[in-house]
Amino acid sequence: MDAENLHYFEKAPVAKAVAHFAVPMMLGTSMSVIYSILNAYFLGTLHNTAMLTALALTLPLFAIIMALGNLIGIGSGTFISRLLGEKKVDEVKQVSSFAFYSSLALGLIVVAVGLPFIDPIVHGLGATPDSFGFTKEYTTIMLLGSPIVVLFFTLENIVRSEGAALTSMVGMILSVVVNIILDALVIFVFHGGVIGVASATVLSNLVASVFFAAHIRSKSQALTVSIKWFKATKEILINVFKIGVPVFVMSLFLGAMSLIFNHFLVEYGDPAVAAYGISSRLLQFPEFILMGLCEGVVPLIAFSFTANKLRMKHTIQFTLKVIAGLAVAFGLIVYLISDHLIGLFTNDPLLIEMGSYILHVTFLSLFITGMTTLFTGIFQATAQGTAAFIMSVIQGATLIPVLVIANRVSGFHGVVWSLVIADAVAFLVGAGMLYVLRNKLQPDLEQLAQ
């Protein structure tokens, strides 16, 4: 680790350290949402609701592939940050090599398992007769490109875990820029439709993965992608999967929640699914900014957990204040211009009305979502595997029964409001577990404060 990154880990004022780690991550994640929104925008220019529906229906598949990247990437990344706090550089090299090659292996398994069952997968995603062909095209490309996508998420996490937040941001922005350029080419020049948009996503992830790998090989003092450092020891497997598995389960639940949610919305027609697809992408922008903030400070919290617990406490307190301020600011913007935002993607009055309504409701839980993301990050950084696992399943476990009941009682409105209720339950459970962790660490904090 270079001296600059070490300074931000150990000595810089908390606000400055949080900004150093979080702002690049916030910019990077927000850019990734922008290209997700632009995917919908470019397809929207073709004025084909079935294509937009296919894009919405494949969100669960992308969530699963991303989950595999987070399984290895976040699990390895938090372990790497803790090892750096203990100055164990050789162990960091072993973990980073393990992360690189296991990501590729997982992606290849997805290809081998997924392609033979492509039609059942598309049916399972909830494709209607009109959207089946487009959904199958997108799904096929995403399955073929899954090794690249898994590797991209893994490398981004381990690069950031070393403190190279700026490099992480550059790689994510590079992926976004390449994706935007390719989207424009495949839609307006090559008329590639859904296949072109899916291919653009995979190729942009490939470019960013090459960038991250080149950085690790040429500039990183602790990370490596060399096969000679690859080890899958019991210690590495336990520490990576103790945090990675809860993250993986949480991502699976998010994918399952999106899948189940789409199945309920299908009852109200393709316009309801398309409206949710548009509004959810718009909601992702502030959500991913808050996620970038929370994920950005995880390496700082993990390092401080082994090196300086009082600094960890101050980091968490400052981050809470930033979450509250951002949630209020984004909420005001959405409530003022929601119709105009949905209108960027469609001129269908029904889609605009439904999408605006979904935005109004789901934005009510923006602060809660930010807080639960921070809770999960704290549990990951402090190696609280059980708490991280509970956070990974509570929202999904709550959403399913709430969806069933709310749909029967209030129809479409109940389906939309079920998201807010599930978020609230997850927040309450996370706050309770954080209180328990705080009490467990209190003796150490009091001793450091003296």
The sign of the CA dihedral 297, 255, 420, 289 is positive
Percentage of the chain lying above the pLDDT 90 cut: 8
pLDDT tens for 161-210 read 887 778 888 888 888 889 888 888 887 787 777 788 888 889 999 999 99
The whole-chain average pLDDT of the chain stands at 81
pLDDT of 443 strictly over 70:
no
pLDDT in tens, 293-310: 887 788 788 888 877 778
Per residue in 6-28, pLDDT (tens digit) is 777 777 888 888 888 788 777 76
pLDDT in tens, 265-282: 777 777 787 778 777 777
CB 190 within 8 A of CB 42: no
The pLDDT assigned to 270 comes to 73
Q: If you average pLDDT over each of 187-191, 286-290, 321-325, 439-443, which comes out highest? A: 321-325
**pLDDT tens digits for 204-252?**
999 999 999 999 888 887 888 888 888 878 888 888 887 777 777 766 7
